[in-house]
Amino acid sequence: MPLISEVGKRKLKVRLTLILITIFLWIGVIIHLFPVWWMFTTSIKPYTEVYQFPPTLWPRNPTFASYKLIFWLFKGGRGRLGFLCPIWVYIKNSFIISGGTVIIQVPITALVAYALSKLTSPRSSRILFLYFIGTMMIPISISLIPNYLIIRHFPFPTNRVPKIPFTSTPFPSINFLDTFWAVIIPSAYSAFSVLLFKGFFDTIPDEIINAARLDGASELTIFRRVILPLSRPTFAVVIYFAFTGAWNSFLWPITVLRDETKFPINVLMYKVERVVSTLSRETALTDENWREILQAGFGMNGVMMLAIIESIPVFIMFIILREELMKGIKLRGFK
Amino acid sequence: MVKNKNEKLQKQRLASKYKMGWFFMAPGFIIQAIFGWFPLVVVFVIAFQKFQVIGPSQFVGLSNFRIILDDPMTPIVFKNTLFYTVLSLALTFIIPIIVAIMLLEMSKATIRVMMILWFIPYSSMAGLILWKWFYNPFYGLFNGILVSLGLPTLRWLNDPHLAMLCLILPGLLMFAPGLIYIATLQSIPREYYEAAELEGAGFWQKIWSITLPRIRPIMAMMLILAVINNMQVFNQPMVMTAGGPANATRSVVMYIWELAFNSMYLGRGASLAILLFFLIMILVLLQRKYFKEDLDK
């Protein structure tokens, strides 16, 4: 609309460009949505059809067998796939991690961004901004090993907890490995969220806040009563990015969560896929347990079914928050 | 006298305001100190140590770096990572911008529908596993298409020359940051375009002189983030190829992870991480020098 004027729309050339753009965009949409279709059809194909070449575009004998199988395979107590817990435990783990990240990260970053935007002296604001945003430029991989060590006996990144001087008792420390805190605490602060919040808070005129101050409101009240209602869309954006970020995080969970009962669903999926795809025909036929699993019809169809389960929360978050997302993104670059 | 008192009051107010500011920042400040900045110090300490999980660690000077530089794997993983970054930026950086610009030419109703369809996010693990299945040489969709077209089949992820390209394609479809561009484009005032039109500016001229300068700060930011993220690629090779075939897709971060958490050479992992850190810093600085956020400055 902004580039092509309403007036020119009657010209043939202009109309042709518009049609071409439309066709391009719809083709893009189809290509973009095709993976969802493929996930779904693969998950409802029976085992024999999944391993058929060339693959069928439309499932010939649709069946929901893999959906039932997944509960049978993960019955718990060292289930047939070799995983300890029933499937819903892994889904719950993912929700605890993502939900915990959102609940802790959003208020912390909102307060930081508000303070950066409105409550710092001009002298210190530049340096504080660098302090809070600077880590965005630093690769996460460099803090991977140190953070692992810090988490191992918080807050000492040494391989032994130092002793309190002149005594033989070590300093108090906490081992967060194999707990959900190990994943949640390092992501309790996120520079990107601060940037998103600050981009919006900077657009709120100071007069509103000053007026509230003159009425005798405390800073916390101003934040709660004046700023919060104004910035709902921005909160939606940050919640969305924090949630999907935590839901998709993979490197950090596989590093600090070695306990199988604590896996989030995407780590479980990674492990199951690895087992299914590297399984050779021979082991499958000689191993009693695997023969049973394969005869029941579990293969890539089951993995795709897990993929669908894993995608649903992210889809839902997007659909619920999409209106707010459009209004709420107010980034201004690294400024 | 009165004026003086007023000034004093004002100063007090300011001071209490700043104090509240510190109070608000405190939780974030502490977490940022521990997990944001402290690791930077720690990593340099560990890199000079023979760091074992059990038992004492000892200072070994530069020997970790020497081992890493002599390791035949190091040049391979750096080459792979740079190749991935360049190819992935070339293929995936521009497309979301073009799509966002085009999308805004549509009518309001179309935008609403297409927004959902274009930018619906895939969970990354589901996406990668699905793509791995697409590439499957025996049962996959891509070879299926090739066969039904009467073409010879390819080995995709098992082919050392193709594997890297295969890792990049999912990014093209599934994790595009178009949403951020759309939001930025929508915030450009309409009047600018109308004014340009009165002066007789055409389609390309408007893009060149209004759209691009306006989204430039965001583009600069997204480019920096994309370089940093792509240089640290981990999920794609880990999930889709496990570094194979013949190490053609093993990335630096993947090697750091293997060194530190599979072989338990934390010191060597840390020194490799430092090398990667300096490389990324150089790239970021070059970028900030040659791709300025604002043209006015």
Residues B135 and B166 sit within 8 Å (Cβ to Cβ): yes
What is the reported pLDDT for A218?
Answer: 85
Give the CA dihedral B275, B277, B282, B286, nearest 10 degrees. Answer: 150
Q: pLDDT for B270-291, tens place per residue?
A: 999 999 999 999 998 898 888 7
Give mean pLDDT, residues B183-188.
84
CATH number at residue A180: 1.10.3720.10
Lowest mean pLDDT across A120-134, A217-231, B64-78, B161-175: B161-175
Neighboring chain B residues of A239 at a CB cutoff of 8 Å: none
Confidence (pLDDT) at B251: 93
Q: What is the mean pLDDT of residues A26-33?
A: 88
Mean pLDDT of chain A: 84
Q: Does B121 touch chain A (CB under 8 A)?
A: yes
Range of the domain at A183: 80-328
Q: Is the pLDDT of residue A201 over 70?
A: yes
Nearest to B118 among A28, A109, A269 (CB): A28
Predicted pLDDT at B221: 86
pLDDT at B3: 64
A54 contacts B147? CB cut-off 8 A = yes
Looking at the complex, does the CB of residue B202 fall below 8 Å from at least one CB of chain A? no
B62-132+160-290: which CATH number, 1.10.3720.10, 3.30.470.30, 3.40.309.10, 3.90.1150.200? 1.10.3720.10
Residue A211, C-beta contacts closer than 8 angstroms, at least 6 positions apart: none
The two three-digit tokens of residue B183, written as one number: 């939001």
Stretch A201-209: mean pLDDT, rounded? 89
Whether A73 maps to a domain, the answer reads no
| Domain assignment present for A25 | no
Q: Is the pLDDT of residue A22 over 80?
A: yes
Domain count, chain A: 1
CB contact under 8 A, A144 and B99: no
Residue A275 forms contact with B (CB below 8 Å): no
Tell me which residue of A74, A268, A271, A98 sits closest to A180, measured CA to CA: A98
**Band of the pLDDT at A132, cuts 50, 70, 90?**
very high
Domain layout of chain B by residue ranges? 1-47, 62-132+160-290
Q: What is the mean pLDDT of chain B?
A: 86
Cα separation, A71 vs A83, whole angstroms: 12
pLDDT winner (highest mean) among A8-17, A135-144, B74-83, B168-177? B74-83
pLDDT for res B2: 61
**Does residue A89 form part of some domain?**
yes
Encode pLDDT of A83-96 as tens digits.
667 788 889 999 99
The answer to whether residue A181 scores a pLDDT higher than 90 is: yes
Query: Residue range B80-105: average pLDDT?
Result: 89
Q: Counting Cβ atoms within 10 Å, is residue B67 exposed (0-12), middle (13-18) or buried (19+)?
A: middle
Q: What percent of chain B is modeled with pLDDT above 70?
A: 95
Provide the pLDDT for residue B73.
92
Which of the given ranges, A77-86, A277-286, B249-258, has the highest pLDDT on average? B249-258
- If pLDDT is split at 50, 70 and 90, which confidence band does A73 have? low
In the block, tokens 């594997």 appear at B163
Q: Sorting pLDDT into bands at 50, 70 and 90, what band is A131?
A: very high
| Residue B7 in tokens | 């000034």
Assess if residue A13 is contained within a domain. no
More reliable by pLDDT, A35 or B177: A35
Q: How confident is the model at residue A284 (pLDDT cuts 50, 70, 90)?
A: low
| Residue from A3, A301, A303 to probe the interface with B (highest B Cβ count within 10 Å) | A3
Spatial separation of the C-alpha atoms in residues A73 and A86, rounded to whole Å: 8
Rounded Cα–Cα distance for residues A120 and A100 (Å): 29
Contact of B215 with chain A, judged by CB distance below 8 Å, is answered with no
| Chain A residues 41-60 within an 8 A CB cutoff of chain B | 42, 50-55
In a domain, A317, yes or no: yes
Q: How many CB atoms lie within 10 A of CB B105?
A: 18
- Across B259-266, average pLDDT: 88
Q: Is A306 part of any domain?
A: yes
φ and ψ of A241, to 5 deg: -65, -40
Gyration radius of chain B's alpha carbons: 25
B186 interfaces chain A, CB cutoff of 8 Å: yes
Q: Give how far the C-alpha of residue A188 lies from the chain's centroid of Cα atoms, to the nearest Å.
A: 14
Q: Does residue A212 have a pLDDT over 70?
A: yes
pLDDT given for residue B213 in this prediction: 87
CB contact under 8 A, B40 and A142: yes
Residue A197 banded pLDDT, cuts 50, 70, 90:
very high
Taking the Cβ of residue B9 and every Cβ of chain A, the question of whether any pair is shorter than 8 Å is answered with no
Helix (H, G, I), strand (E, B) or coil at B50: strand
Provide the angle, in degrees to the nearest 10, between the axes of the packed helices B124-135 and B141-148. Answer: 40
What tokens appear for B88 in the block?
């992935």
Q: Which two tokens stand for residue A17?
A: 């460009």
Q: How far is residue A240's CA from residue A187's CA, in Å, rounded to a whole number?
A: 14
Q: What is the per-residue pLDDT for B297?
A: 42
Give which of B12, B31, B279 to mutate to test A binding, by max A Cβ within 10 Å: B31
Return the closest-CA partner of residue B121 out of B165, B169, B178.
B178
Helix (H) or strand (E) holding B82: helix B73-92
Do β-strands B49-50 and B58-59 pair in parallel, antiparallel, or remain unpaired? Answer: antiparallel
Q: What is the CA radius of gyration of chain A?
A: 26
Residue that wins the pLDDT comparison between B64 and A330: B64
Nearest CA in chain A to B112: A323
Query: Is the CB of residue A334 less than 8 Å from the CB of residue B221?
Result: yes
Judged by a CB distance cut-off of 8 A, whether residue B283 touches chain A is no
| Residues of B with Cβ-Cβ distance to A158 under 8 angstroms | 57
CB contact under 8 A, B46 and A188: no
